[in-house]
Amino acid sequence: MTVFSLDPAQTAWCEELRTLAEERLRPLAEKGGPGHVNRPLLAALGELGLLGRLFGSGALDLCLLRESLARGCTEAETALALQGLGASPIVQAGTAAQRERWLPQVRAGRAVAAFALSESGAGSDAAALSLAADRTSDGWRLTGGKCWISNAPEADFYTVFARTTQGAGARGVTAFLVPADRPGLTGTALDMLSPHPLGTLDFDGVPVTADDLLGEPDRGFRVAMNTLNLFRPSVGAFAVGMARAALDATLDHTSVRTAFGGPLRDLQAVSHQVAEMATRTEAARLLVYAAAAAHDAGEPGVPRRAAMAKLYATETAQYVVDAAVQLHGARALRRGHLLEHLYREVRAPRIYEGASEVQRTIIAKELYARPTQEPSV
């Protein structure tokens, strides 16, 4: 296999996933309420063995999984991805006891995970977080707040990033595993454009001990960034899945919808628009695969390639979904239409896990940091 193609087994698996998403997972998703954790959907993802594929199978496998699910059921894709994002720090830096306690529950869809990094004043500038972890005789107490946290306040545990050393920037951040039933931990749901659950968390002297550490004190920012480097290409895969779903719908619609004496596809303005949508989607898809393969191979430049994949794929998906809505006309704006749903879903990925502007900053920083090369003759 090269990064530019999939072997027959991978292609068959992707089609199987898409069918599962459409036939088994979408009905469960439709029964759930927007803005709330859909536990029956998570349980089904666990029963199908899909949550187990989140851990240990590599970034490319994760991208194929997210893209395929997104084509058939975005809610299922997001539920799966949030489990991975919240639990990946445990896989990466957790103790044997933490792994034994939580990972089987996550894989089965019985425990809901959440990744608690962002704050109201520390979103794109994640190193500026201010949730305080103050030393006590037996550990720390967490005081402050988190905002824009997916699965909050309904998660069963949170991977929380707090400041243990003031004035140290990224070097003074520590990662903790905090069960939702800890005293002093409360949360509030936010009413957002995107349908998945999102909320705030309030920490009023929440106690944590050395047993709750994920990795070493003051080394938690690396845990966060390693998690994001794994998941950023797969955010791009989610976006590609949405773009492909919008493109599929557009091909069907423009083939049967008639105007000016024939199907829409016979109009050059329409066919050229569809060609542009398809070309950008394929380019995004290949960029995502290349970034994921580079991550799995341990190649240099992974942060830059992950940033490129997320940036281009999410911006492309926004373009493709918007163009699909335009070609469908008013019918695409009706509540419940696939494209109305995708139009709401596609906006958030350009912001979360590092906004597009942050991705451009990462890319430029890495480009300018390259070793000086002799000019070619």
Distance between CA atoms of 83 and 54, rounded to whole angstroms?
8
List helix spans (H) across 94-206. Answer: 96-108
208 SS3 class: strand
Find, among 319, 320, 339, the residue nearest to 329 by Cα.
339
Q: What is the DSSP letter of 109?
A: T
Distance between CA atoms of 285 and 3, rounded to whole angstroms?
10
For residue 353, indicate whether it is catalytic: yes
Say which of 340, 353, 357, 366 is annotated catalytic: 353
Distance between CA atoms of 139 and 131, rounded to whole angstroms?
15
Distance between CA atoms of 254 and 288, rounded to whole angstroms?
28
Tally of CB atoms within 10 A around 177: 24
Distance between CA atoms of 158 and 25, rounded to whole angstroms?
25
End-to-end CA distance of the chain: 35
What is the set of active-site residues?
353
